[in-house]
Amino acid sequence: MGSISASARQVRMLVIGAGSRGHAYASAITTHRHDTGPTHIPAIIAGVVEPNTYKRGVFGQKYIWGPAGRTSPCDGEEWTDWQTWVEHAETHGAGVDAIAICVLDEMHVDILAAVKGLGVHILCEKPLAPRLGDIQTIWDAYKDAGVVLGVCHVLRYSPHNIMLRDLVRVKKAIGDIVSVEHTEPVGWWHFSHSYVRGNWRKESKTAPSLMTKSCHDIDFLLWLMCSPTHAESDEPPHAPKYVASSGSRKLFRKTRKPTAAGEATNCLSCPIEQDCIYSARKIYVERRLEKGDTDWPVSIVNPEIEECYKSAGLEPARDMLLTNLKEDYSREMPQEEIDARPWFGRCVWESDNDVNDDQIVTMTWEDDPIERGHGTADALEGRAEKTAQFHMIAFTEKQCDRRGWIYGTKGEIEYDSFTIKVHDFATGRTESFVPKQMGGGHGGGDSGLARQFVLAVDAAINQAVPAETAQKRYLGCTLEEEIRSHAFVFAAEEARHDRKVVDWDVWWHDHVQA
């Protein structure tokens, strides 16, 4: 990927959504420095869109007006809704070069449609959209838009995964790939927080958990095994031929509820709460707040908990948090109201969740030789038949610390989120690598993505590099590649629902290209 260069002016960015992901990218953009010196990434956060007054103020004080020595925003630095900002931008100009879309998944497509005519470059949290039709609409709208559109598939940008791919694809440390086993251990309490009680608990409201949680991993596998070795290569991708999937909601359903819990629908009124590992009181209060931890996930339950804890102490903060956890819905409450928010005190067996807590996706490749201009001896190099299996599982001690095995013709690789072990069949030796840990989310992937996105935008606005070229050079992928990994999730879901094997070429043509 490209490196930092001198710039005519700093890239100005607007962040839409001041939640955890908005903070992650704003922090990466404003604090990351080049490895070889003190040069800042050429970007500043120039504005924020956030309806919650408290969250908007905290964000602005941390990244916008606070660093400028001010206690309040200037005109154009804060907005309560994105529609108002778009209307202002259409009349007076965007005032920024790029935006980061960090709101709920189901809002992405409307924002992307609204900002298309503004000419701003876009960094969009994954997934682009929760519905296949919306994904198709976005591709049609942006494939010739002349702007950088980066998707936050952050696993591509961590030092660990960059080294792993370099070992496999460039250095050919284990020969040709034969098979891959890759696992995402979501974490037992993390799954209950986000996918049973939280915003991503219902497929009808957002998308399947394979999309909302694991489109990272599907993209990672396609990047590892399908994409051209070098992003600016014109070589076609070696796409899988078939995809199959199986999975279900195994634990978090009413039929698995302990009999002793009776009719309780909320943890704080449950007779077995003290013995339940999924007790909301244990997860949020005892294991975090009472130990001084007010960050995620406690801050998701109540964004103002940190300020309350700092200014008033533990007891008021505990009372505030328990009040939130006591909230519950009833049969009389309108479904729209239930769907509109998370319920972090809800019994995990009485929630209205319906997404999978365990799923396997199997990908199969066939030989796909191509002419490379100098004979046919290397026509199958990197394009021979192979398989990959992905496993998303909720019930793990580890939380999102991916792990796996890569089997090759000359050796094998074992990896987790911190180490890579390469065994060579010929020598019998195993070499261990410990990639640099950059800090931040996803093993440094958040900061790596933010850095590369800013460099792409900088190249487009300051160096007259065409947006498509800048995207390939710095983000390492095209919009089509981003669309393909999203589409592959929908193909896997069709395979799971219909209990069949999907022919990828046919599916891609019929559902996307056509």
Question: Which range, of 26-40, 86-100, 238-252, 480-494, averages the lowest pLDDT?
Answer: 26-40
Handedness of CA 19, 22, 28, 29 (dihedral sign): negative
Q: What is the pLDDT of residue 233?
A: 87
Which two tokens mark 17?
């959504």
For residue 13, which amino acid is it?
Answer: M
Exposed (0-12), middle (13-18) or buried (19+): which is 366, by Cβ within 10 Å?
A: middle
E-assigned strand segments in 140-297: 149-151, 177-185, 242-248
Q: For residues 328 and 311, give the distance between their C-alpha atoms in angstroms, rounded to a whole number.
A: 28
pLDDT at 33: 46
* Rounded CA Rg of the chain: 24
User: Phi and psi for 358 in degrees, rounded to 5?
Assistant: -155, 125
Give the start-end residues of each E strand in 211-350: 242-248
CA–CA separation, 294 and 292 (whole Å)? 6
Cα 201 to Cα 357: distance, rounded to the nearest angstrom: 10
Q: Where along the chain do its domains lie?
A: 11-155+444-477, 176-251+354-408+485-513, 254-339
Which of the residue ranges 15-24, 25-34, 260-269, 383-392 would you say has the lowest mean pLDDT?
A: 25-34
Q: How far is CA 164 from the centre of its chain?
A: 19
Please indicate whether residue 402 or residue 373 has the higher confidence score (pLDDT).
402
Comparing CA positions, the residue from 279, 214, 198 lying closest to residue 20 is: 198
Residue 415, CA distances (Å) to 177, 401, 421, 469 in order:
15, 10, 6, 32
CB 246 within 8 A of CB 496: yes
Cα distance between residue 348 and residue 395, in whole Å: 14
pTM, entire model: 0.93
Phi/psi of residue 13, nearest 5 degrees:
-125, 145
The answer to whether residue 63 scores a pLDDT higher than 90 is yes
Write out the two tokens for 208: 């399947």
DSSP 116: G
pLDDT at 99: 98
50 or 39: which carries more pLDDT confidence?
50
Q: How far apart are CA 450 and CA 374, in angstroms?
A: 39
* Residue-level pLDDT at 257: 98
- Domain spanning 176-251+354-408+485-513 has what CATH number? 3.30.360.10
Q: Between β-strands 98-101 and 242-248, what pairing exists: parallel, antiparallel or unpaired?
A: unpaired
380: Cα within 13 Å, side-chain hemisphere: 11
Q: Sorting pLDDT into bands at 50, 70 and 90, what band is 50?
A: very high
Secondary structure of residue 34 in the 3-state scheme: coil
DSSP state of 47: E
pLDDT value at position 375?
Answer: 55
If we measure between CA atoms, which residue out of 225, 206, 215, 141 comes closest to residue 184? 215
| CB of 49 closer than 8 Å to CB of 79 | yes
What is the C-alpha separation between 399 and 186, in angstroms, rounded?
Answer: 5
Tokens standing for 14?
Answer: 């607007």
C-alpha pair distances (Å), 412 with each of 158, 167, 255, 408, 423: 21, 11, 42, 6, 5
Question: Mind listing the pLDDT tens digit for each residue in 106-159?
Answer: 999 999 999 999 999 999 999 999 999 999 999 999 999 999 999 999 999 999
Q: How confident is the model at residue 234 (pLDDT cuts 50, 70, 90)?
A: confident
Residue 4 structure tokens: 């930092």
* Amino acid making up residue 216: H
CA distances from 260 to 256, 349, 351 (A): 12, 13, 17
CA gap 463, 36 in Å, rounded: 22
Name the average pLDDT for the chain.
93
Is 508 a residue whose pLDDT tops 70?
yes
CATH of 11-155+444-477, one of 3.40.50.720, 3.40.50.360, 3.40.720.10, 3.40.50.80: 3.40.50.720
Mean pLDDT of 399-407: 96
The CA distance from 298 to 284, in Å, is: 6
pLDDT of residue 212: 96
Count CB-CB contacts under 10 A for residue 243: 25
pLDDT number for residue 36: 37
Range 159-164 average pLDDT? 96
Q: Is the pLDDT of residue 205 over 50?
A: yes
